[in-house]
Chain A
Amino acid sequence: MTYGPSAGQLVRPPAHHHDEPYVPVFTGERREKLDVILSRYPTRMAALLPALWMVQDRHGWVSEHAVEEVAQVLDLSPAYVKGVLSFYTMYHQHPVGKHFIQVCTTTPCNVCGAEDVVKAFLDATGCGELGLTSDDGRFTVIEVECLGACGFATPVMINDEFIESVTPELAARIVAERD
């Protein structure tokens, strides 16, 4: 048994992941979008969270290459970008499954049976263990801290999609519907 507080947050790279050449994010339209974002703040640093979101939208996670690119675009050091990146749990520092499933298990949802929902997702996706990506690369399931929808237990986020009132039965259906 692990007493570590972060046991549920472990995210490991999926087995199928191979290093591919890095495609820069901030070119063309995305560069223009970033420039619009930059115009909203008096410092370039303030665009760091938005820039990391753009990277994740494009690549699905934020690699060391992406860290270098963001640092260069915003005049920051790569170490600084990594420090900020790793503070925020929604950014992926490793590749994750195509459907990244986050189940809220904090107390309000926990008392409503959220752990059963987690189990249902783990079973239905074949991930087996929290933080592991299924062999086909489609799913990663993690427990997440309070999603702020406690009255709709159990809320689940799949990538950017927010699903309320998920039950173990619904979990299986949700997984079955995904490609």
Chain B
Amino acid sequence: MSETTGPKMVTLTIEGRTAVVPEGTSLIEAAKTVGVLIPHYCYHPGLPVAGVCRMCLVDVEKFPKLAPACATTVMEGQVVHVHSEKAREARTGVLEFLLINHPLDCPVCDQSGECELQDYTFQEGRAESRYEEPKRFNPVEDFGGDVLYVPNRCILCTRCVRFMGDVAHDPVLNVSERGDRAFIGKADGHDLTNVWAGNVVDLCPVGALLSKDFLNKARAWELDRSASICTGCSQGCNITVETRDNTVVRLKPRPNEAVNQYFMCEHGRLDYRWINRRDRLDQPQVRRADGALRVADWEEALDAAADTLRGRRVHVLASANASNEALFLAERLMAASGGRGWFRIARGAEAPLPGVPDLSLRAERAANATGARLLGFEELTGTPAIAPADAVLVLDDTLDGELPAGLVEALVRGATLVHAGTTLPAAIAGRASVVLPLTNHTEEEGTFTNLRGRVQRFLQSRTAPGLARPSWFVLGDLAERLDASAGFALPAEVFGAMASAHAAFSGLAYERLGLRGLPVLDAEARGLTVTDAVSA
């Protein structure tokens, strides 16, 4: 096979459907390509194959025995039956075995509703057990980190052991003992403190590994879910934001081969409480003649903001978690007036997940520093050069709740300040002429650009507090007042304008980003390694 031709393709029949897949593909993956999900427990596409649960046994013509679909590779002309009598019997057999010692505690189990044991039992239809003996019992164990182990529910699929060993390269879990005495074990003093350890909870197909953070918080079926992007660092892990009654209760990784495969780190996963904070800015405010900030309506506040900025050089101090769309509109204000844009960013230690190429908890702990840079913002180092005649727009930069040194001095000497943000730190409240309440990234939609130049969409998952408006909407209205340009009705329109105005984003269309994102076109030229330039 030469380098230019793709892998050799193999054609086979699965449940009467023709599948054409690359040589070496497993039956279980080949079946997915034709819409057949073969029930399984131990198999996970992000982990090495174990072949131990025996749930995915399928009937392959000319094979003497049922074959595990996860550990059997495709062969030309193969005919595979997933729902033959023989295969179905084997599956119901496995389910019965897995359930004999499994407690019927679904009513109090966090996994209930998203449990593969429940799902397959329902799907394969074995409602009754013939088991009459006492059930095995072992106490719940705290595995450290965010993880609890409930051995009674464990089906020994070993996904967690393989994740910690083969993906995290931190083998702190094992299978201990043997036979039906076996359980998932760990060594004393070696807890699941790895920053990637929380993935074992997602990987667990049953309720054996639980998140302490999510413990007893909600039933799976009460949750609303929407696609989003983690703001914990610049990796841009694809996530699902799960809310209950408009409150974010859990973040889960959303598969994206090109970014985070199936995983996310604990830093991102557990850092969501700020999204739900109650002290949000929820009404526009304008500083009155008496020197106090007072509530205003949006029209008045936007007019006041425009007046504050008009005729001055507008500098923008933006959050590195602002969307590309908001940053683009802010950048237009800067560009039109000759101002500059800065962002500040928190940093931490880089923590790679060794088993996945180019996946790491990044040192830059914000989602869109790359987008900011591409759009002409620079990281603020030292004192910003702000003249007394300038204006400053703070775009949700609430780092430390303090304004950067130099900005305060400039304000004292006559510079003006408009604050558009989700919260109002005291340091800003004392200085801003106008305060515009914005939605946070879970309350609006937009895009982030990750450190590899991949532009990824996030969707709205909860409603905004009070009168807060999406950042792109507010900045669009502000721009309309300042330069008489037309406003924007949709984030897609802002994105379109950005793509035509900025070479980096040219050729990209909001709709085409899908939910997995696309790389910016000259990412490579900019030294941004693009891991998967063709995937859409």
Contact = CB atoms under 8 A, between A and B. Distances in A.
Assess A/B contact in the complex (Cβ within 8 A). yes
Interface of A: 3-6, 64, 67-68, 71, 76-84, 86-87
B177 A86 contact: yes
Contacts of B170: 77
B179 A80 contact: no
Contacts of A79: 171-174, 185-187, 190
A64 B170 CA distance: 18
A68 B187 CA distance: 9
Question: What are the nearest 8 A-B pairs in CB distance?
Answer: A83-B174, A78-B187, A77-B171, A86-B176, A79-B187, A79-B174, A86-B177, A64-B188
B181 A82 contact: no
Contacts of B177: 86-87
A80 B176 contact: no
Interface in B168-209: 170-181, 185-190
Contacts of A81: 187
A3 B133 contact: yes
Residue of A77, A78, A83, A86 with most chain B CB atoms under a 10 A cut-off: A83
Interface of B: 133-134, 136, 165, 170-181, 185-190
A5 B190 contact: no
Contacts of A87: 177-178
A6 to B, nearest CB: 5
A86 B174 CA distance: 10
Contact of B174 (A4, A6, A64, A82): A82
Given A4-B136, A6-B181, A79-B174, 11 more contacts: A64-B189, A77-B187, A78-B190, A79-B185, A79-B187, A80-B174, A82-B176, A82-B186, A86-B176, A86-B185, A87-B178
A78 B171 CA distance: 8
Contacts of A67: 187
Nearest to B161: A83
A77 B172 contact: yes
A77 B171 CA distance: 6
Nearest to A87: B178
A6 B190 contact: no
Contacts of B190: 77-79
Nearest to A88: B178
Nearest to A67: B187
Given A5-B180, A6-B181, A64-B188, A83 B175 contact: yes
Contacts of A3: 133-134
Contact of B185 (A4, A76, A82): A82
Contacts of B136: 4
A6 B138 CA distance: 14
13 contacts: A3-B134, A4-B136, A5-B181, A6-B179, A77-B170, A77-B172, A77-B187, A78-B188, A79-B172, A79-B186, A80-B171, A86-B176, A87-B178
Centre residue among B165, B171, B174, B178 by max chain A CB count within 10 A: B174
A5 B187 contact: no
B159 to A, nearest CB: 15
B179 to A, nearest CB: 6
A149 B133 CA distance: 33
A83 B177 CA distance: 7
A6 B175 CA distance: 17
Contacts of B165: 80
Contacts of A84: 174
B284 to A, nearest CB: 56
A76 B169 CA distance: 11
A2 to B, nearest CB: 8
Contacts of A83: 174-176, 185
Nearest to B181: A6
A5 B182 CA distance: 12
Contacts of A78: 187-190
A117 B324 CA distance: 80
A6 B179 CA distance: 9
A66 B360 CA distance: 34
A78 B186 CA distance: 8
A161 B421 CA distance: 78
A64 B187 CA distance: 8
Nearest to B186: A79
A68 B181 CA distance: 24
A3 B188 CA distance: 30
Contacts of A68: 187
Contacts of A80: 165, 171, 174
A6 B170 CA distance: 31
Contacts of B171: 76-77, 79-80
B179 A5 contact: yes
Contacts of B133: 3
A163 B175 CA distance: 34
A163 B82 CA distance: 54
A113 to B, nearest CB: 26
A69 to B, nearest CB: 12
A25 to B, nearest CB: 17
B100 to A, nearest CB: 12
Contacts of B187: 64, 67-68, 71, 77-79, 81-82
Contacts of A86: 176-178, 185
Contacts of B188: 64, 78
Contacts of A77: 170-172, 187, 190
Nearest to A77: B171
A26 to B, nearest CB: 18
A77 B170 CA distance: 8
A76 B174 CA distance: 12
A56 B171 CA distance: 24
B411 to A, nearest CB: 55
A5 B134 CA distance: 12
A82 B182 CA distance: 12
A173 to B, nearest CB: 35
A49 to B, nearest CB: 15
Nearest to B164: A79
A51 to B, nearest CB: 16
